[in-house]
Amino acid sequence: MSTILPAVKKRADYQQPDFSINHVDLEFTLLETNTKVVCVSQVTRNGQHNNALVLDGEGISLNSIQIDGVAISSYQLTETTLTIDIDNGCNEFELRIENTLNPKENSSLEGLYLSAGAYCTQCEAEGFRKITYFLDRPDVLAKYDVTIIADKEAFPYLLSNGNKIDYGDLPGGKHWVKWSDPFYKPCYLFALVAGDFDLLKDTFVTQSGRTIALELFVDKGMIGRGQHALDSLKNAMRWDETEFALEYDLDIYMIVAVDFFNMGAMENKGLNVFNSKFVLADAETATDEDYFNIEAVIGHEYFHNWTGNRVTCRDWFQLSLKEGLTVFRDQQFSADMSSSIVNRIQNVRIIRERQFAEDASAMSHPIRPDEVIEMNNFYTVTVYDKGSEVIRMLFTLLGKSGFLAGIKLYFERFDGQAVTCDDFVQAMQDANNKDLSQFRRWYGQSGTPQVVVKDAYDPNTKTYRIDFEQSHSATFDQKEKQNLVIPIQFSLLNDKREALKLNNANDVQTTIELKDTTQSLEFKDVNSKPIPSLLHGFTAPVRLNYEYSQQQLENVMLGSPDEFARWDAAQMLFSDCIHNLGAKTAQQQEASIKETVAMFEPVFQATDITLALKAEMLTLPSFETLFQQKNRVDIDVLNQSRKRLFAALAQTFQKDWLALYSAFEMKAYAYEPIQVEQRKMRNLALKYLTLSGHSDTKTLLNEQFSKADNMTDTLGVLNAAQLGDLSLFEKLMLEFEQKWQADPLVLDKWFALHANTDRTDILSRITMLMGHSQFTISNPNRVRALIGTFSFFNVAGFHNIDGSGYKFVADYLIKLNEVNPQVAARIITPLIQWQKVDETRQQLMQHQLMRIGDTQGLSKDLFEKITKSLP
């Protein structure tokens, strides 16, 4: 492990900045290896002090400093700071800094870098300091004027935030453009893009009648794949007006799609930069899931304009202020645009597969972290997705109108400011006159709460009592825990699967606000012992336990008034069966599988279950979900048990799968709800058919592969073929590669399919693919598709008991550490989650973590995760 330890920053240490900057004039002269930046800041001293001005700066070269036009030569420069003494009494001044940087060598994709020949920036969280010396913190808000100078032919488009106010030509084939952003913003929202693109244009008329210019920039030749993104943007703009009464503020909204990007997208004011994966789509190259994700991410970044940009974070510990709230908003948007139940199930899968895993690991942290070494490590499922669940609980507790009243007050109070999570909750509290002091603990407490539900029925008094108990285990980061406010929505079913009326208003569902360790409710005049249908809609991000019998689960699955609870009961039937299989004799195993499978027969026949929900109910819980349900897991047994149940469902219902496979009339591809659910069911049926070994399978697979007019059905074939005869799979994969070899985004799907194939020679296969002409370590999409997919999803390969999977990933991360630390720190996640596996594997995983830890020049990103996770 390296000897210089990176510093830990603490939330409790927050102090207001000594200086503020309220106006910035930036001038960029773009050159690949030697870009010049001139930054003129109007600086004000805050309060009375004699402290020096300490600016952040990293990986850039300083040329000169002037204060009010006078050159300064006494300053201190370190690897990460520039300290300038300011004369006493000099309370307002103009600071001019000139520096240079090398975008071409910037493989971290943070700051200013080149993506396939185009310049672009990524400043959140702390990337602006890689562009110029600055107060790189979100509570310094300034107005920006930006001039960009570059070669005109190679870079016809020069873009930045706000409005284009002037432009002109220069000698030597150069040109310049000046942008001005009238809104105050933190520097993490600054953006610059320069390149040659295809441009798709449109307009949007706001509810108040203003016309907004919409501009979508994509790689040359990709214009035909931009329409869905643009339509999604217009849908998002309309939705935010109708649902949240929020209107766009600038006169232009630009989105640029780039190929080299560390995450999904970035909400820079008026100039979003997107990973092209979340922009480009047409039927042939994108799946239904891609279409869905594009709409969601476009919505997410657009919604940030209010929740994040107009009101931003005081410091990075408050990240969930903007991310949790914006994820909640994009989830609501997606629910309104497509199937709300499928959408909710998808949200919950992320929580159970990945957020619960984070809680159980050494990276466990509250949605508002207390300590951070590398901020980029905290763009997590906890801050984002659990953050959104916390907002959703407020929505449940306050009701829609109370919630919206809180949002209104939040903007009235804080528009144009950098604030905290506490400020947000206070606005919710004040607008609703509801004490949220205990609720606030959700922001500071990490871990997955456990709720145990017990009940009792007294036939003499016809009284039913239901008891709820909350408990909280210590996590790696926090020993002491407190009780939280946990809203749990539920119903009671009688033995005819009818939901009982629970109060005088005849409601069939009710919500308990669990605040104490235990709370009980009593229901009178109940004729027989009811079955509770619990945690409707997943009203809280908790693990809930009730000792259901299989029979009871079947009743909830078939009769609950809540679609989510029905799906959840189906999942519990599957997971109980899978977890219990290992300890049984062969005969018992067979009986148990048979019994579970039989329970699903009515699902096929049911007429009150939508096709979309049916497909979800008939999908087994993922390995990752099952893994999170237990404290200790035998990986091989779990994997085998899941496969056995999978095969049994395939064989038992072979006829039904065949019927479902051909039940729908095939129309020309359109991304619309009915077609989406039909394709989902059809491809699920194809998977089961393949697994069942049906004699027609090969024909069906070949036929669908050759006839498909869309990527969803093409991938449906490959996903199914992967489960059956590997030689057919290989043949189809080869055809696919030949067809798409020039299209890296499509090829990513192919890399990913290879990476999660269950085969004994998987490591040599991946090694071979790393030599593919389209694979490069410098592009995060490629690395995530191949190496990320292997480490996150190839259970048998990654967890091979000989340790080869762990070593392979570690070797790769050691290389990636030098190229792109942020992406390396994402992919290390499965390796640091060793807590639930057996001792042998724990040792092997820790050994690899130590090897990575010994790397020369280990990044802060990996350092933080490794030091936290080694015992």
Task: Enumerate binding residues for ligand B3K (CB under 6 A).
Answer: 124-125, 263, 265-267, 300-301, 304, 323, 376, 379
645 binds, among Zn ion, ligand B3K, none (CB under 5 to 8 A by kind): none
What is the nearest approach in angstroms of Zn ion to the Cβ of residue 384? 7
What is the nearest approach in angstroms of ligand B3K to the Cβ of residue 330? 9
Which CB, 114 or 265, lies closer to ligand B3K? 265
- The answer to whether 411 and 397 have CB atoms below 8 angstroms apart is no
What is the nearest approach in angstroms of Zn ion to the Cβ of residue 134? 22
Q: In whole angstroms, give the CA distance from residue 68 to residue 52.
A: 16
What is the nearest approach in angstroms of ligand B3K to the Cβ of residue 385? 11
For 252, the enclosing helix (H) or strand (E) is strand 252-258
Cα–Cα distances in Å, from 835 out to 830, 839, 842, 846? Answer: 11, 9, 7, 10
Which CB, 365 or 782, lies closer to Zn ion? 365
Span near Zn ion by CB under 5 A; candidates 21-29, 323-331, 544-552, 584-592: 323-331
Which CB, 309 or 704, lies closer to ligand B3K? 309
Q: What is the DSSP string of 372-428?
A: ES-GGGG--HIIIIIHHHHHHHHHHHHHHHHHHHHHHHHHHHHTT-EE-HHHHHHHH
Q: Catalytic residue among 126, 301, 389, 554, which?
A: 301
Which CB, 114 or 273, lies closer to Zn ion? 273
Say which amino acid occupies 125.
Answer: A
124 binds, among ligand B3K, Zn ion, none (CB under 5 to 8 A by kind): ligand B3K
Phi, psi of 725 (to 5 degrees): -75, 115
Structure tokens at 394: 């407020």
Query: Which residue's structure tokens are 């789509």?
Result: 281
Which CB, 326 or 339, lies closer to Zn ion? 326
Pick from 240, 238, 235: nearest CA to 303: 240
Report helix angle 726-740 to 697-707, nearest 10.
10
What is the nearest approach in angstroms of Zn ion to the Cβ of residue 266? 8
Report helix angle 550-559 to 563-581, nearest 10.
150
Whether residue 412 lies in the annotated active site: no
486-493 sheet: strands from edge to edge: 510-514, 486-493, 531-534
What is the nearest approach in angstroms of ligand B3K to the Cβ of residue 181? 18
What is the nearest approach in angstroms of Zn ion to the Cβ of residue 782? 24
- The answer to whether 331 and 838 have CB atoms below 8 angstroms apart is no
Contacting Zn ion within 325-344 (CB under 5 A): 326
Handedness of CA 719, 720, 726, 727 (dihedral sign): negative
- The answer to whether 164 and 179 have CB atoms below 8 angstroms apart is yes
What is the nearest approach in angstroms of ligand B3K to the Cβ of residue 366? 18
What is the nearest approach in angstroms of Zn ion to the Cβ of residue 314? 17
418 binds, among Zn ion, ligand B3K, none (CB under 5 to 8 A by kind): none
Span near Zn ion by CB under 5 A; candidates 133-141, 280-288, 316-324, 499-507: 316-324
What is the nearest approach in angstroms of ligand B3K to the Cβ of residue 774? 25
What is the nearest approach in angstroms of Zn ion to the Cβ of residue 274? 12
Say which amino acid occupies 318.
Answer: Q
Where in 126-248 does DSSP place strands (E)? 142-151, 157-160, 163-170, 174-185, 192-195, 198-205, 211-218
Span near Zn ion by CB under 5 A; candidates 49-57, 158-166, 287-295, 324-332: 324-332
- Which of helix, strand or coil describes residue 464? strand
Which CB, 315 or 323, lies closer to Zn ion? 323
556 binds, among ligand B3K, Zn ion, none (CB under 5 to 8 A by kind): none
Which CB, 109 or 535, lies closer to Zn ion? 109
Number of residues that bind Zn ion (CB under 5 A): 2
User: What are 812's strand-pairing partners?
Assistant: none
379 binds, among ligand B3K, Zn ion, none (CB under 5 to 8 A by kind): ligand B3K
Span near Zn ion by CB under 5 A; candidates 41-49, 288-296, 318-326, 645-653: 318-326
641 binds, among ligand B3K, Zn ion, none (CB under 5 to 8 A by kind): none
Which CB, 275 or 846, lies closer to ligand B3K? 275
Q: Which residues contact 15 (CB under 8 A, 6 or more apart)?
A: none
Q: Which residues contact 51 (CB under 8 A, 6 or more apart)?
A: 18
Query: What burial class does residue 688 get, using C-beta atoms within 10 Å of its C-beta: 0-12 exposed, 13-18 middle, 19+ buried?
Result: buried
Residue 590: count of CB within 10 angstroms of its CB? 13
What is the b/e burial string over 695-705, where b = at least 16 CB atoms within 10 angstroms of the residue's CB?
Answer: eebeebbeebb
Which CB, 379 or 424, lies closer to ligand B3K? 379
295 binds, among Zn ion, ligand B3K, none (CB under 5 to 8 A by kind): none
Cα–Cα distances in Å, from 214 out to 176, 177, 571, 735, 770? Answer: 22, 19, 43, 38, 39
What is the nearest approach in angstroms of ligand B3K to the Cβ of residue 375? 7
User: What are 7's strand-pairing partners?
Assistant: none
For 333, the enclosing helix (H) or strand (E) is helix 319-337
Q: What is the DSSP string of 27-71?
A: EEE--SS-EEEEEEEEEEE-SS--PPEEEE--S-EEEEEEETTEE
Which CB, 298 or 831, lies closer to Zn ion? 298
Which CB, 377 or 846, lies closer to Zn ion? 377
376 binds, among Zn ion, ligand B3K, none (CB under 5 to 8 A by kind): ligand B3K
Which CB, 387 or 744, lies closer to ligand B3K? 387
Residue 284: count of CB within 10 angstroms of its CB? 17
266 binds, among Zn ion, ligand B3K, none (CB under 5 to 8 A by kind): ligand B3K
Residue 367: count of CB within 10 angstroms of its CB? 29
Which residues carry out catalysis?
301
- Which residues are at the interface with Zn ion (CB under 5 A)? 323, 326
